[in-house]
Amino acid sequence: MAHASDGRSLEFKLPDLGEGLTEAEIVRWLVEVGDVVAVDQPVVEVETAKAMVEVPCPYGGVVTARFGEEGTELPVGAPLVTVAVGEVDGAGDAAADGPARGTGAGGGTGAAESPPAGQAPAAQKKAEGSGNVLVGYGTSEAPARRRRVRPDRPAATGVSGRANGRVRGAGPVDGPVRAAEPVDGPVPVISPLVRRLARQNDLDLRELTGSGPDGLILRADVEYALRAAAAQGVRTADQEAGAIRMPDAASASSGAFSSTSAAPHADGTRVPLKGVRGAVADKLSRSRREIPDATCWVDADATELMRARTAMNASGGPRISLVALLARICTAALARFPELNSTVDTEAREIVRLDRVHLGFAAQTDRGLVVPVVRDAHARDAEGLTAEFARLTEAARAGRLTPGDLTGGTFTLNNYGVFGVDGSTPIINHPEAAMLGVGRIVPKPWVHEGELAVRQVVQLSLTFDHRVCDGGTAGGFLRYVADCVEQPAVLLRTL
């Protein structure tokens, strides 16, 4: 194992990964304590609410500590690794002269050392910058997060205790017991969702000790406390039920006795709403709360569109996907009905019509539903759209989408026909104003040119925000899309 000859260590903290993300879960460590890393070398793979991200370290040197095991959630600004920087010797232990360091959460050595008192000011400057910058950090050290150190408090009555981020028990303690000191201000939690979870279950966060850095309360801490409280409640109910005397026959026949039973146990498996699943749940719930949506739909004969695609692919060159043709139809329709490419600024009470179309499309992956975004879809032709759809789809399946790939959409295309269904009333992808849904294309009886024939029929649906337009605009948009599906030559007017 190599070591840094000058003994200086720099602490690299979890950076802001963009789009307001406040936490990330460690999926896989890419380095071990003692490994030599180069500037901008990825050291850990984390999962945010939006994507899997490899985080590069802006320092070069020897890894002297890792903070957090795989599966641990860390807030933005929490330490990830410490790196001993400077010239690297050939062999030896990754230890520097000076006081011993504590053990980090990941099993490595702990906090970064301070430079010697006599060190020149120039040597105390931050490491030289690299070019690989995520939001909120470069190669300079992130500012230290100030967290209040909370005094010891007694546990909540009736809740069994645990150490290291759990509710403290009320068992016997040697020596005098300190009185609980009041904590002013809000208790530090990893995200507002955790605070809301506690509030919805009437749980006092001041009775918990967080297992995160500096006592930060994590979701797991709140969930453990709730389970402990529920278990205590069940035991109390069982004891009360056992203490009730059985009634005599007269009172039972008169109906004077009402049976009391223990609280039922909740069967089944609990799956935490976190990561992609949690982000989807929050976004869909917000959409339902804030957007007064409505849906209209129409059946369309897609036979000519399918023939046009076959002819395109028979002429040579890259194959054109069906979703790319539908996307091209969408962008043409939005040019005619720009009200649907907009968003609502609720604070200003204004509708913001957007000049560019960033087209999102729903993609189902092993990690859940994601909506990658094709930037400037209105400026791409069918070949360009096909290539971008393929790139984003592959990245989604491999878990390589960045937060930038998943945000900023202005309109969404939802091809739920791949699941073998005809129709749906999808939930709008907040804060967008509309979503076009496309069902499966199947042979059906259809009146074509006055005669009954078997044609390739698809159901199209449009869910829209009724604040940005009325039904006439939404119906006009959907009718234009259906006309282009039935007669692709209609698109030639806008090319």
b vs e for 87-112, b when ≥16 Cβ sit within 10 Å of the residue's Cβ? eeeeeeebbbeeeebeebbbebbbeb
Contact 166, 209 (CB under 8 A): yes
Region of 490 on the Ramachandran plot (φ > 0 left; ψ -120 to 50 alpha; else beta):
alpha
- Identify residue 448 by its one-letter amino acid code: H
**Token reading at 162:** 């645990």
Supply the residues annotated as catalytic.
466, 470
Task: Give the contacts of 350 (CB within 8 A, at least 6 positions apart).
Answer: 344
CA distance linking residue 370 with residue 53, whole number of Å: 15
Q: Which phi and psi angles does 299 have, rounded to 5°?
A: -90, 145
In angstroms, the Cα distances linking 355 to 18, 61, 382, 418 are: 24, 47, 20, 31
CA distance linking residue 17 with residue 52, whole number of Å: 11
Which run of H or E residues covers position 197? helix 192-200
CA distance linking residue 47 with residue 56, whole number of Å: 14
Residue 388 CB neighbours (<10 A): 21
Q: Where are the beta strands (DSSP E) in 99-196?
A: none
Contact 436, 415 (CB under 8 A): no
Residue 128 CB neighbours (<10 A): 12
Contact 406, 279 (CB under 8 A): no
**Token reading at 370:** 């994601």
**Token reading at 459:** 């159901």
